[in-house]
Structure formats: structure tokens, C-alpha cells
Amino acid sequence: QVIKCKAAVLWEANKPFSIEEVEVAPPKEHEVRIKIMATGICRSDDHVVTGALVTPFPIILGHEAAGVVESVGKGVTSFKPGDKVIPLFVPQCGECKSCLSTKGNLCSKNDRAIGGGLMPDGTTRFTCKGKAIHHFLGTSTFTEYTVVAESAVAKIDSAAPPEKVCLIGCGFSTGYGAALQTAKVEPGSTCAVFGLGGVGLSVVMGCKAAGASRIIAVDINKDKFAKAKELGATDCINPKDFEKPIHEVLIEMTGQGVDYSFEVIGRTDTMAAALACCQFNYGVSVIVGVPPAAQKITFDPMLLFTGRSWKGSVFGGWKSKDSVPKLVADYMNKKFVLDPLIT
């Protein structure tokens, strides 16, 4: 039956969230209804508020969470009420080209591909004041209950603390995987990380886990440097401290540029700088931050002609259903920490 609960509804861009009573419909075939126990806030949620990421309104945001299965729809065999789970904003259907490829992880059943804000069948499970409310990235976690497709949820260790492992639903996995899965950072290599928010710090952790010998953290907020060093950064630099462009500073610091660079902000100027600061022949630069809507990037093609690689990374390159339970297990086995990312 329908559940009435509280949710943070965003009625329009650039307005505050409104705590409302919403109705959450029961799960349909191959859907799961989840009681959300903990949710993180990711910059991508804020990008919707500011209009940098375009979505239909009204909407329930949130995509980084942990919870417990409340009920399941017809045909669901892999979940039962009471299972502890993490919703997946990048689903894994197991049937599309990306899912079947060893190289890809961006399932074509993701919400960006479906057309934004609805369940795979083209309808919504949320209503408020008689109005249909859109879903966000197939997850919508700023609510006490949500409904997701069976392909967009992973069962995790029942002992895992939800207020910590919710970060594995986006921020941590995205950054950590960008280093380990997308860039495939090697032992002894040099890395530069632009942006030291939760995802950027997770990139630092991934570079360290991969055995990078030098990890240069770049941010215009020097208050973030102590935490970056605690998590593995060897150098911290503030572009505001230099007269010359930051990519030139990094090339001077490293001789010929870094082996791997990561843009973890979502700005075109820092994406261009990250590309330019990596080694001219075999450097790899990874875009991790969500690019702003309707902005184009201009760069000298010679930067790529000499051999550099420019890559993007969604959810750290992890195949979500397969990897999230393993990452939770790694956290439980103390292979990495999450506490420093929680403020």
C-alpha cells in the first residue's frame, strides 16, 4: 500500500528545499521500496539546485544512501524485506552493451539515458499535494521511503553502519574508483588532484592505495589541505599563490608534468588545466566532476596529438551491483576509512 512520509521536495531551482508529506506508491514489477536510514549530500544534488545540472521539477533529490528493503514488487527474487541495501544511481541491468563489456560500467538503463526523473516505465512513485514528483537519478534519497528499480540496488553486509557506508553509494566510490579503475594509477607514479571535496579526497585515497609516490592536491581553499595530507597528499598547492597558470606550476614541480591528473570540481577551466598539466606523451587526465550544462571547452588539440589520454569516469568505473557489496566488505575489513569524509 501507499506510504505517507516526509521528504525534502525541491519545487523549483534556486529555491530552498521544502519538507513535505509525500505519498510513496508501492513497488511495481521488478521494483524495490526502501526505507532510507542515512543519506549523504553530493555536489551533484546542489548542481540541480543551482541549475548547473538540468532536471525536471518538482523533484526529490539525493543519490547517496543506505537503507533497508521495506517491500518488493512482483518478480523480485534477489531482495527481501529487511535486507540492508545501497541504491545505485548507475544501475547494472546485466544485459546492455556497457554491462556486457568488461570495459564499461555506465548501464544504458541509467536515468540520464531514460530521459530524466521517471521510473523505467515512464511514471513516478511520488506524489505531493496531488502533484507528481520526479525521481532523481533513479534513486531519490532525500525521503524516508523511496522506490528504485531492482537493477538499481545492491545488497550489503547487514552489519555495515549506514551512516558511514552511504558514501559508497556515490562520493567515495566515484573518487576512489577514478584512481584505481579509470586511471589505473601505478605504483611510483605522480598524480595531481584538482578539488578537495569529499570526492577529491577519495581520489587522493585511491592514488595512495595504488602506490603513487607523489600526490599533489590542488584547491583554492587552503583549509582543506590538512585533511588532504592526512589522507595521503604529499603536496598541497593553492593556485591563488602563483602568478602563472597552475598547469605551468605543476609541470615545473614535476619536471614534465604528472602521470595522472584528476578534475574533481566540474569546471571547464580546471578540466583544461588538468589536461595540460599531465605528461605530454603518456599522461592521463580524468574528468570526475560533473560538467556544467550548456558549456563547451576549447583546447589546443596538440595536447592530445602528442599522446595524452583524456577520459571521463562515472561512479569510478565500478560495475555497481558487483562492486558496491565488495567495497562495503573492504570498508568493514578496514581497507579504507570513511570517517574523515563525514563532516
Residue type, 205: M
CA distance 283 to 226: 27
* Catalytic residue, candidates 93, 107, 166, 170: 170
Q: How many contiguous H segments (helices) and E segments (strands) does the chain have?
A: 11, 16
- Classify strands 65-72 and 31-39 as parallel, antiparallel or unpaired: antiparallel
DSSP letter for each residue of 172-209:
HHHHHHIIIIII---TT-EEEEE--SHHHHHHHHHHHH
What 3-state DSSP class applies to 131?
Answer: strand
Question: What is the residue whose three cell numbers read 599522461?
Answer: 283
Known catalytic membership, residue 313: no
CA distance 311 to 333: 31
* Catalytic residue, candidates 47, 134, 135, 247: 47
Known catalytic membership, residue 173: no
Known catalytic membership, residue 63: yes
Known catalytic membership, residue 135: no
Known catalytic membership, residue 170: yes
Cβ–Cβ under 8 Å, residues 4 and 23: yes
Sign of CA dihedral 320, 325, 329, 334: positive
* Catalytic residue, candidates 63, 134, 135, 247: 63
Sign of CA dihedral 85, 39, 192, 182: positive
* Catalytic residue, candidates 42, 93, 96, 207: 42
Residues marked active site are found at 42, 44, 47, 63, 170
